[in-house]
Structure 1
């Protein structure tokens, strides 16, 4: 049994035409199917508007699909009753680290939210856990009482990651978690995510438009285009050698760090 099974998921939005005020169905996802195994990362690539974030919301239970099924640890996420533990085993890290937190809450309060919802810890135990989490993501006890505006974007994303791993979940949905960061912080955050994946046996759905970021963390790759999962690749080499027109365009759009070497390597990785 796979950790996450997405089977034939279709989702659409109703939109109104301005002149006739007629509702039209706008297809966001069409017959999406894939699996994520324990301890692995699926990198879901696609341009803006491809449906990546919508798919993330459907998997998180935030938007019910019109058709299809989401199975997490063998349980239907849209069934009438979902085991309490199932909810704690799936967490999320969003793209915008600032909008993902309450600006009036301290770092300790932000990280403590899932602990207060699912754990019964004494104040001393909770504080100790928060400090351990801060230190694990590269911050320190001196950051406990700071507010979001006192952190850089990279530091605040570390706090969001600390909150996501607080309950030791099975799966984390990473929705463009590094796209708003500079190159240095992108590299550091991806390194941290890889370390946590190995240390805690985490699984990731890594939603991104950045092929290089996907290559840095993913075990398998999928390509989403206009709401359809057009390709699934079991390895990075399969992606590199793919002749699919959409994938070819994605590869050609990559710029290397130096102009003289601006092309995606074609040798095996």
Structure 2
């Protein structure tokens, strides 16, 4: 059984004019089916507006699709009972693109990371503080950062805090929605290495949503390509992305800045 199984998911939003709602709606996702196995990362590529973030919200239980199923550990996240939904919320976490809007600016790093622990764990004050310190150190920060506020961190440091919060409950799957795209290249590389290390150490699974081919290739085991709400390609081996002749994949490859020889070799004249 797959950790995550998406079956024929279709989702749409109503379309309207200035004066009234139209009867027709626009499909944002059309008949999406894919799976993620435990301990693996699926990179989901696509241009802006392809439906990647909407799919992420559907998987996280934030937007119920009109049709189809989202099964997590065999349970439909939209029809499961309260007890199962609570377990799903614990095992399914997210890290979003904007590290600053993802946190409460009035909370210290300690409180941000401790929030899920307070909701799901029964720890003493001392145990909780020790756990938060361990999480900070795990993501490359230190005890000295406990009492700092979000505006005292760089974007990369704050994203590390978001990652620490996401892994605090030892989840099964983390949805990473453009989680490194706003970072400079050096910080992006460090965050990707951190995510790979955490995946190896904790057996985490990721859905890595991005428009960045190099970032996706770095961290993913498999790759999928979304275009206009449709899953146009899904590769069990990520190297297949560079031999595909699908026109959408060709456009993605041609838009890539080929800095590494591996990527330059697939560019067309």
TM range (shorter): over 0.9
Return the alpha-carbon distance in structure 2 between the equivalents of residues 94 and 69 of structure 1. 23
Displacement of 1:199 after TM fit? 0.2
Q: Could you say what secondary structure the match of 2:264 adopts? A: coil
CA RMSD of aligned residues (A): 1.5
Displacement of 1:21 after TM fit? 4.3
1:162 corresponds in structure 2 to 164
Structure 2 CA distance for partners of 1:151 and 1:19, relative to 1, 3 Å: same
1:185 corresponds in structure 2 to 187
Displacement of 1:180 after TM fit? 0.4
Displacement of 1:85 after TM fit? 1.9
Return the alpha-carbon distance in structure 1 between the equivalents of residues 38 and 148 of structure 2. 35
Q: Could you say what secondary structure the match of 2:5 adopts? A: strand
Contact 1:111–1:130 at 8 Å: present in 2 too?
yes
Q: Could you say what secondary structure the match of 1:22 adopts? A: strand
Return the alpha-carbon distance in structure 2 between the equivalents of residues 36 and 80 of structure 1. 20
Contact 1:17–1:23 at 8 Å: present in 2 too?
no
Contact 1:255–1:262 at 8 Å: present in 2 too?
no
2:238 corresponds in structure 1 to 236
2:91 corresponds in structure 1 to 89
Q: Which runs of 5 or more structure 1 residues have no equivalent in the other structure?
A: none
Structure 2 CA distance for partners of 1:250 and 1:75, relative to 1, 3 Å: same
Displacement of 1:256 after TM fit? 2.3
Displacement of 1:255 after TM fit? 1.3
Q: Which runs of 5 or more structure 2 residues have no equivalent in the other structure?
A: none
Alignment of structure 1 residues 63-142 onto 2, 5 Å? 63-82=63-82, 83=84, 84-142=86-144
Alignment of structure 1 residues 250-261 onto 2, 5 Å? 250-257=252-259
Contact 2:176–2:209 at 8 Å: present in 1 too?
yes
Q: Normalising to structure 2: TM-score of the pair?
A: 0.95
Return the alpha-carbon distance in structure 2 between the equivalents of residues 201 and 117 of structure 1. 23
Q: Could you say what secondary structure the match of 1:238 adopts? A: helix
Structure 2 CA distance for partners of 1:115 and 1:263, relative to 1, 3 Å: closer
Residue 155 (structure 2) aligned to one of 153, 157, 163:
153
Is residue 151 of structure 2 the alignment partner of residue 143 of structure 1?
no
2:11 corresponds in structure 1 to 11
- Write out per-residue CA displacement over residues 164-202 of structure 1, whole angstroms, 9 at most, x where no aligned residue: 000000000000010000000000000000000000000
Displacement of 1:87 after TM fit? 1.6
Q: Could you say what secondary structure the match of 2:2 adopts? A: coil
Q: Could you say what secondary structure the match of 1:32 adopts? A: strand
- Would you identify which runs of 4 or more consecutive aligned residues in structure 1 move more than 2 Å? 19-24, 261-267
2:48 corresponds in structure 1 to 48
